[in-house]
Amino acid sequence: MGFEQRQDFARQVADLNKYGQALNQCESVDEVVSLTLEAITILFELSDVTVVEVRDGDPHVAGSTNPEVSAGGTPSEVAKRAHGTGETVTATGEAAGRDADDDTTATLAVPEGIVDETICVIVVRSTSAEAFGDEVVRPMEILATHAATAISNIRSRERLERARQDLQTRKEMVELYDRLLRHDIGNDLQVIAGFADAVADMVEDEQASEYVARIERAASNSADLVERVGDLVSTLESQREPEPRDLRPLLEETVRDATDQYGSLSVAFDPAAFEYRVYAGDLLDSVFTNVLTNAAVHNAGAVTVDIYAEAPASDRLVVGMADDGSGIDPDLRDDIFEMGVKGPDSEGTGFGLGFVRALTESYGGAVEVRESDAGGADFRVALERV
């Protein structure tokens, strides 16, 4: 009879699933860690248990029943090995202890994560067992899966909440900016333009007339820029909170509109690769439209954009748009998403990519650019995945 067919294993799995349901109700990682320690202590009757959390590839002790192991501390070597390999690690005899004076006889480290990303490692130690067999390893792997899933869900909720808070802060800031631009600066520019027009009728000197004309043009251009930036600010201000959206139809429509508008633009795009749902607002299409039209506008001649998808984690999706154009100056890549920053040969306002970053971050995502395989620009838009 295989181990999975044993009656006590079936009961243990049922108990573990109950704890799994409870773990998914936890509101914080601390609650997940505490409940995981409790489950192992009760179900396995083990008194030396440590939970290691892995965040951004960095493992640290999240909690332990061993008073000598402190939260936030460096994980043991066996935990690091399990994290590094992504596989369950067992140790016996002298290799099981933390040091030469440790009387531990058996150690087990179980890593678990989502896709290829390790989220947590559960480490248990015994001073009586010679080794941990399947009767401990298999149920421990099930519990680690429940814990990793719970932590991943909490992280997703935290990122979404931060995005909502960031969106509220942005709305408050853009309201002030909008009032400053449209009211104070806009009114001053109207006064400048009005007086310049009046002076133009009074002067007869040719050079003075030229200066007045320059003042009028500068005031008019500035007023136009204020209006365009004000429209952008109002757009950001009206954004609603991120909500689940189907990515495929949105991209299909965006690609169709962009290629219809620009005859020099070709797009390599497989709609079937984008059967995902992401958290976003109703202007997500503007993010992709800005990047695609940038490729068409800022490259001489025909340009091809390859749109691809990557899922680095269960709660994250990257939409990449790589073109074969002339690329972006490496010295400009870190600043290209700042409002008003543009290349030396650009005739635009420099607000398009700033708009892209502002929108993406308001959805809890991020955007970056790197060099594409073809030597052009590769824009990567990361979004929260449902």
Q: Does residue 21 have a pLDDT over 50?
A: yes
Count of alpha carbons within 13 angstroms of residue 100, beta-carbon side: 0
pLDDT score for 359: 82
pLDDT digit string, tens, across residues 94-127? 888 887 778 899 999 999 987 778 999 999 999 9
Separation of alpha carbons 226 and 176, rounded Å: 14
DSSP H or E segment with residue 80: helix 77-85
- Strands 303-313, 316-323: pairing is antiparallel
Q: In whole angstroms, how far apart are CA 271 and each of 308, 320, 348, 367?
A: 10, 13, 31, 21
Pairing of strands 316-323, 277-280: unpaired
Which residues on adjacent β-strands are paired with residue 317? 383
> What local confidence, expressed as pLDDT, does residue 124 receive?
94
User: In 102-133, which positions are buried (b, 16+ CB within 10 angstroms) versus exposed (e)?
Assistant: eebbbbbbbbbbbeebbbbbbbbbbeebebbe
Q: Give the pLDDT confidence score for residue 3 in this predicted structure.
A: 41
Least confident of 299-303, 334-338, 356-360, 381-385: 334-338
Record the tokens describing residue 40, joined without a space.
Answer: 């192992």
Backbone angles phi, psi at 119, to 5 degrees: -110, -35
Average the pLDDT over 346-362 and give the result. 70
Q: Give the sign of the dihedral formed by CA 262, CA 263, CA 269, CA 272.
A: positive
Q: What is the mean pLDDT of residues 68-86?
A: 91
Lowest mean pLDDT among 213-222, 306-315, 345-354: 345-354
**CA triplet 243, 249, 250: central angle to 5 degrees?**
60
The mean predicted confidence, pLDDT, of the chain is: 83
Q: Is 159 helix (H, G, I), strand (E, B) or coil?
A: helix
Paired tokens of 81: 């090995």
* Strand 277-280 with 243-246, pairing: antiparallel
Q: Distance between CA 252 and CA 357 in Å, rounded?
A: 21
Asked if 198 and 260 count as a contact pair (C-beta separation under 8 A), the reply is: no
Q: Are the CB atoms for 211 and 242 separated by under 8 Å?
A: no
Q: Are 78 and 91 in contact (CB under 8 A)?
A: yes
Task: Find, among 148, 157, 115, the residue nearest to 313 by Cα.
Answer: 115
Q: What is the pLDDT of residue 2?
A: 39
pLDDT of residue 272: 95
Q: Mean pLDDT across the stretch 125-131?
A: 90
Confidence check: pLDDT of 352 > 50: yes
Task: Output the pLDDT for position 376.
Answer: 93
Element (H, E) at 359: helix 352-362
DSSP designation for 273 = G
- CA 161, 162, 168: angle at the middle one, nearest 5? 90
pLDDT of 77 strictly over 70: yes
In angstroms and rounded to an integer, the radius of gyration of the C-alpha atoms of the chain is: 29
User: What's the predicted TM-score (pTM) here?
Assistant: 0.51
**Would you state the pLDDT for residue 179?**
63
Q: How many CB atoms lie within 10 A of CB 86?
A: 13
For the record, the structure tokens of 58 come out as 């960095």
Q: Report residue 97 as tokens.
A: 């202890």
Q: Are strands 106-114 and 117-126 parallel, antiparallel or unpaired?
A: antiparallel
Phi, psi of 372 (to 5 degrees): -80, 165
Return the closest-CA partner of residue 28 out of 151, 144, 169.
151
Q: Where are the beta strands (DSSP E) in 42-97?
A: 48-55, 58-64, 89-92
pLDDT band for 282, please (50, 70, 90 cuts). confident
Cβ neighbours of residue 382 under 8 Å, at least 6 residues apart? 316, 317, 318, 360, 365, 366, 367, 368
User: In one letter, which amino acid is 158?
Assistant: E
Find which of 14-18, 255-259, 271-275, 292-296 is predicted with most confidence, using mean pLDDT: 271-275
Residue 45 Rama label (left phi>0; alpha psi -120 to 50; beta): left
What pLDDT is recorded for position 332? 81
**Tokens, residue 318:** 């990257």
What confidence tier does 65 reach under pLDDT thresholds 50, 70, 90?
Answer: very high
Q: pLDDT above 90 covers what percent of the chain?
A: 37
Q: For residue range 221-248, list pLDDT tens digits in order.
A: 677 666 666 666 666 556 566 789 999 9
